[in-house]
Amino acid sequence: MTVKHIITKKLEKINNLNVKENAKMKNYTTFKVGGTADLLITPHNKESLSKALKYIDHANIPFLALGSGSNIIVSDKGYRGIIIHLEELNNIKISENKVIAQTGVSLSTLANKARKAELTGLEFASGIPGSLGGGLFMNAGAYGGEMKDVVESVLVVNYKGEFERVNSKKLNLSYRNSILQKKDLIAVEATIKLKKAKKEKIEAKMKDLNSKRKQKQPLDWPSAGSIFKRPENDYAGRLIEEAGMKGYSIGDAQVSKKHAGFIINRGKATAEDIKKLIETVRNKVHEESGIYLEVEPKFIGEAADKTKKGDN
């Protein structure tokens, strides 16, 4: 019996944990690309997650903690390891001006719960296509707001299954960065501190921001959001457009005609198409401006199998 089969049998015995073999990753990512993962497990509570991590760590098998899959590009060859899908960790509690939420919940759902409770501060997140876990991992932000502005503390679990609460200062949240990218930690639950406000005012702001998104972003196509990080004192979309790459395609992967900062999947794009297009765009922008754009999504698959990564 192989290590894979042994760990599968052990994981299947954990209560409140679903185990799926050969999961098609295109069904779990917003780009809709990627081959199969050896195993995909879905914990229904933090206790089952902790037990699963202990087994996985002991077996020394590569794994990836995944939320909504909005900020990753999975190789066409798939992932030789275990995907820990956190979507069922989605409980939300609200007490006065604080929201305590598990990290599998989507940012849009979280923002709407805050709106209904007349709490302001999460309007910027209402249109971000990702989970709370991914939002913490990347310090997600939009229209002047970022997760670092509202997060008070985060409950994390290390790769040995041990829990610890980390305050916002120790999270080192900065532009598209956090301690979660550097340490062997998975965010499980966050305490978010907001302010009271009239529901009408919150709704008006959310409506305005989401209207701007619809006007400027290619929301009708699969993508991973902004494909490049914002260069200092400039914008990736502007540089790409000036380099003449807006609308450029490789296979069904295309630089959006609506917003050059996005690469979209027009239906049958492969991860390799997207990767080649990213490199082509980067090289052209560098040739024209001297600026080498930094990719925002994480590449997952054959080349990354030996590296454990956090929530996306």
Ranges of each domain in the chain: 3-88, 92-201, 228-295
226 catalytic, yes or no? yes
Confidence check: pLDDT of 124 > 70: yes
Which residue in 75, 226, 256, 282 is the catalytic one? 226
Dig out the tokens for 64 from the structure: 């990836």
What per-residue confidence (pLDDT) applies to 298? 92
Hey, how many other C-beta atoms are within 10 angstroms of the C-beta on 162? Answer: 11
| Assigned CATH class of 3-88 | alpha beta
Options 176, 178, 189, 282, the catalytic residue: 176
Whether pLDDT at 241 is above 50: yes
Q: What is the pTM of this model?
A: 0.90
**Right CATH for 92-201 from 3.40.50.300, 3.40.50.150, 3.30.465.10, 1.10.1270.20:** 3.30.465.10
Confidence label for 35 from pLDDT (cuts 50, 70 and 90): very high
> Is 96 tagged catalytic?
no
Banded model confidence at residue 5, pLDDT cuts 50, 70, 90: confident
Segment among 35-39, 280-284, 304-308 with least mean pLDDT: 304-308
pLDDT digits (tens, 9 = 90+) for 65-115: 999 999 999 999 999 999 999 999 999 999 999 999 999 999 999 999 999
Q: 296 an active-site residue?
A: yes
Res 306: pLDDT: 38
**Using a CB cutoff of 8 Å and minimum separation of 24, what contacts does 195-203 make?**
195/97, 195/119, 195/120, 195/121, 196/97, 196/118, 196/119, 196/120, 197/118, 197/119, 197/120, 198/118, 199/115, 199/116, 199/118, 201/120, 202/114, 202/115, 202/118, 202/119, 202/120, 202/123, 203/115
Q: Are 3-88 and 92-201 equal in CATH topology? A: no
The Cα–Cα gap between 102 and 162 comes to 16
Tokens of 103: 């990290």
What mean pLDDT is reported for the chain?
Answer: 93
- pLDDT, average across residues 197-211: 95
Q: Is the pLDDT of residue 258 over 80?
A: yes
Catalytic residue of the set 118, 272, 296, 302: 296
The rounded distance, in Å, linking the Cα atoms of 132 and 178 is: 13
Confidence band of 3 (pLDDT split at 50, 70, 90): low
Percent residues over pLDDT 70 in the chain: 95
Bridge partners of 21? Answer: 39
Distance CA(273)–CA(254), nearest Å, equals 9
Architecture of the domain defined by 228-295? Alpha-Beta Complex (3.90)
**93/223 Cα distance (integer angstroms):** 31
Cα 117–118–124 angle (5° rounding)? 105
Query: Which residues is 71 bridged to in the sheet?
Result: none
